[in-house]
Amino acid sequence: MTTLKYFGTSITVAIYDAGSAQAESVLCDSVNTIERLHKLGSDYDTYDNIVNIKAINNAPTEVHKIEPELAEIIAAGIEWHQLSDGYFNIAIGPVVQVWRRYRNQCTALKMANDDCLIPTDKELIDAIKYSDISNIKLNKTVGTVSMAEGMSLDLGGIAKGWMAEQVYQQLVDAGVASFVINAGGNIRHFGQHPEKRLFTTAIEDPICKKANFEPAKCNQFDNQFHEIVAAEDIAVVSSGNYLKYFTVDNVDYHHIINPKTLFPKTTGISTTVVLNDNHIYADVLSTTLFLMPLDKAIKMAEDLQYVEAVWYLDKHGNKKTTAKFDKYRLNYNSTDFVSK
């Protein structure tokens, strides 16, 4: 097993049965792949001899020659903008950066709630002018991309699923028979547990998680997780309002920005998706289904044959699920879980 810090989170690759592979060698290859994709997808830093998202954002109107993998993920982001009716937008970077600046200022200065501020409507309206995804000019054939002046890309809603699937395929191709990838709560299973059973994933209760499990009810194991799912060769990903946020006038503002309103969504707590195919899009779908109005989100999930989902709706623990989510639910009597 190896654990490292990339993509703004802790990433663990745990091999349970190396099969025909050399565990140490394939783990080393996994680390190299994660580091390489992190550098390609980063919108925080540039790196020598690498054309990454930050480099593109720094000079959006230039024609950048990019790696095929980066071209593929940008193309997927453009496609999902249409599939999601605009709720997923990799061109939302200018708006995200405005919110990030306010959140970082509030966090860094450790201000009291009344001293923190949120962006003005004018700042957000000015930023969204530079978020028209049709102004991304991508040529996958030759591997080039450019954008309009002032634009910037943000792969935060797709990058971890992209990385996890690349590592997954690398491990499978090397002959590894059983493993789990945990990318900051983005779970990807393959094979069976050494005890000859399905891998299980415990999905943390978001209310308890947000409160650092301090409330009395959160001391009980059964209350720490709101769902337990079990299956073979699946991806499990959650999106919600309970981790990255800052507070202004007793209102929490989380990091998932709705492209329709330019603000964090104000209803719902979290959405968890379970995918048995097209696993690379687990991140995209958890984000999209969290941001969409509930009825629209349920319809979209029901229309996709490879995804089931559960919505944690409010502080009282009310939930909605897709019709076939029960096929993944586990009635458990064990504490041997991968927690999410």
Q: Which residues pair with 65 in a beta bridge?
A: 144
Q: Which residues contact 51 (CB under 8 A, 6 or more apart)?
A: 64, 65, 66, 67, 70
Q: 298 near 322, Cβ under 8 Å? A: yes
Whole-number Cα distances in Å, 31 to 2, 3, 160, 258, 266:
8, 9, 14, 33, 37
Quote the CA–CA distance of 111 and 249 in Å, as a whole number.
12
Q: 258 near 264, Cβ under 8 Å? A: yes
Amino acid at 295: D
Strand stretches in 172-323, DSSP E: 178-183, 186-190, 200-204, 225-230, 235-240, 245-248, 251-254, 270-275, 307-312, 319-321
Is 141 a known ligand-binding residue?
no
The secondary structure element, H or E, covering residue 12 is strand 9-17
Quote the CA–CA distance of 222 and 227 in Å, as a whole number.
10
Q: 274 near 328, Cβ under 8 Å? A: yes
The secondary structure element, H or E, covering residue 304 is none
Is 2 a known ligand-binding residue?
no
Assigned token pair, 173: 């191709």
Q: Which residues pair with 275 in a beta bridge?
A: 235, 307
Helix (H, G, I), strand (E, B) or coil at 52: coil
Helix, strand and coil in the chain, % to nearest 5: 40, 25, 40
Quote the CA–CA distance of 18 and 176 in Å, as a whole number.
5
Q: What single DSSP character describes residue 37?
A: H
Q: Which residues pair with 203 in a beta bridge?
A: 227
Q: Known binding site for Mg(2+): residues?
A: 157, 283, 287
